[in-house]
Amino acid sequence: MRRRVIAFILTLCCMFLSFDYYNQDGFDVRMFVVLLTLSWLACFKVVDYLAKLKIIENNSRIDIVFFACVIFVMFLPMMKINPAEISVQENRTLAKYMPFSHDGKINFNYGTDFENWFNDHFNHREWLINLNAKLNLFLNRKLQSETALQGKENWLFTTRWNSVAMFENRNLFSEDELLQIKKKMQSVQRWAKKHHMKFYIMLVPDKESLYGEYYPDGHEKAGDVSRLQQITSYLKKNTNIPIMSMYEPLREAKEKYTLFYKTGTHWDLRGAFVGYQAMMKRLQADFPDLKILKETDFKITKKIEADIDIASALGVNAYETFPKEDLTYEVFELKHPKASHKYQMLNKKERIEEYSYHSSDSNLRRKAVFIADSQFLRMNWYVAESFSQMKHFYIGYGRMYDLPFMSHEIINFKPDILVLETGERMLERLLKIDVPEN
């Protein structure tokens, strides 16, 4: 009887600690019953086993305490669920909880969905990532995790978004996918033209495309053509949409400047400025009245200031791990800014954010909309200096475009220019975009 009472108390504790599991999407009765049953059986079995250790096998109290501690440590990861939707450490969206049933339909992928959700949200996950990185550095003198790896001369690279296969040129688009992208981009072009907008596509290469010489050894190229080069060439050949690939301008500037952060996934402010000038020259070909900022419009200094999202994913403090020269980059500061901005979260669930800019320069006439990711964040504040008004719809953390959601606001804004920008690793955005009906 005593064992049942102790098991019952432990079961209540387990149910209290597992509240996050069966209350993710409202109270889930099925999940509650499943967890209650499993908790009772597990607690009774553990109590019964501990009793046998003492009574039958006559083990010492130290053995019992050791066993109890092992069981406790095993349950630590599930004692609290991290409710965050975004991992700043890994610069990505975490898996969402998918219920066992929804609208009367059973989710037959519940096991896989639950595992993905738990792996992203278990207790002290970030601390364990940090510990794993420090052990790797201590034992192997090398930084590596499931989401990132260390290259040569302290260059760090992400492995997320299938980046390794992309570096090796092993995940090119199929002919059918290229055709679908072409049709979708042409549909967006027609929609933009209907609302008096000139449509452009801006493509930013990943760091490994520019600095592949620093990639770890053992990664052979499957071919000479990258996914970025493939889609750029295909769209230029088969559509009349202006394609602004930043690969060539950056490759040329690479001989003189460092254009990406060693410890992060993004281009640095110099790389963003090279991209800005290349982009604006292409836009100016269609809109000659556009103003393009020059280097002399900025105060440029070198500071210890770096993007460290890959270092954080590896679980290390970049500023304590790497020499200061690997963290020192050019910082651009406008001498005479004329654009002011306001920020708003348009859709918290889908993480769609809006930066609206308005210039006090009365000589500017053009308006532009950029639907762009975190690469564009390094330049939106001065791109706005080239327009009377500008909107940047920020699609971060690997999100897909949601053009129908933004279409009403874009149409009311009445821009002259519409630009879709994406980094190389997220080229699927062009394939998965939905086109507005209006």
Instruction: Give yes or no for residue 17 having a pLDDT over 90.
Output: no
Same structural domain for residues 111 and 167?
no
Residues 363, 418: contact at Cβ < 8 Å?
no
Report the alpha-carbon distance of residue 107 to residue 84 in Å, rounded: 23
Same structural domain for residues 167 and 308?
yes
317 or 114, higher pLDDT: 317
Per the structure, how many domains does the chain have?
2
**pLDDT value of position 318:** 86
**pLDDT value of position 148:** 86
Whether 130 is in a domain gets the answer no
Where is mean pLDDT largest: 75-79, 219-223, 248-252? 248-252
Same structural domain for residues 280 and 221?
yes
Both structure tokens of 78? 């599930």
Whether 141 is in a domain gets the answer no
Both structure tokens of 191? 């929609």
Report the alpha-carbon distance of residue 225 to residue 341 in Å, rounded: 40
Where is mean pLDDT largest: 76-85, 94-103, 180-189, 308-317? 180-189
Q: Pick from 310, 305, 296, 322: which is nearest to 268 by CA?
A: 305
Same structural domain for residues 110 and 180?
no
Same structural domain for residues 331 and 384?
yes
Same structural domain for residues 228 and 341?
yes
Both structure tokens of 302? 């070198």
Same structural domain for residues 153 and 118?
no
Chain mean pLDDT for the chain: 83
Report the alpha-carbon distance of residue 370 to residue 382 in Å, rounded: 13
Both structure tokens of 110? 């519940």
**pTM for this one?**
0.73
Residues 304, 324: contact at Cβ < 8 Å?
yes
- Mean pLDDT of the 18-26 span: 54
**pLDDT value of position 108:** 67
Residues 220, 236: contact at Cβ < 8 Å?
no
Same structural domain for residues 98 and 198?
no
Whether 78 is in a domain gets the answer yes
- Mean pLDDT of the 24-29 span: 57
pLDDT-above-70 percentage for the chain? 68
Find the helix or strand (DSSP H, E) in which 408 lies: helix 403-413
Alpha-carbon torsion 287, 192, 360, 278, what sign?
negative
- The residues near 229 (Cβ < 8 Å, ≥ 6 apart) are 247
**pLDDT value of position 317:** 83
Report the alpha-carbon distance of residue 106 to residue 248 in Å, rounded: 50
429 or 351, higher pLDDT: 429
Q: Is 299 left (phi over 0), alpha (psi -120 to 50) or beta?
A: beta
**Band of pLDDT at residue 327, cut at 50, 70 and 90:** very high
Instruction: Give yes or no for residue 275 having a pLDDT over 60.
Output: yes
Apex 386 CA angle, 200 and 417, nearest 5: 25
Same structural domain for residues 195 and 332?
yes
**pLDDT value of position 320:** 84
**pLDDT value of position 35:** 62
- Lowest-pLDDT choice from 304-308, 348-352, 404-408: 348-352
**pLDDT value of position 352:** 86
Instruction: Give yes or no for residue 293 having a pLDDT over 80.
Output: yes
Both structure tokens of 142? 């090398």
- Mean pLDDT of the 235-242 span: 98
Same structural domain for residues 109 and 152?
no
Q: What is the pLDDT of residues 183-196, one digit of tens each?
A: 999 999 999 999 99
**Band of pLDDT at residue 94, cut at 50, 70 and 90:** low
- Mean pLDDT of the 404-410 span: 95
Domain with 160, as residue range(s), is: 148-432
**Band of pLDDT at residue 138, cut at 50, 70 and 90:** very low
- Lowest-pLDDT choice from 303-317, 332-346, 383-397, 412-426: 303-317
In terms of residues, how long is the chain? 438
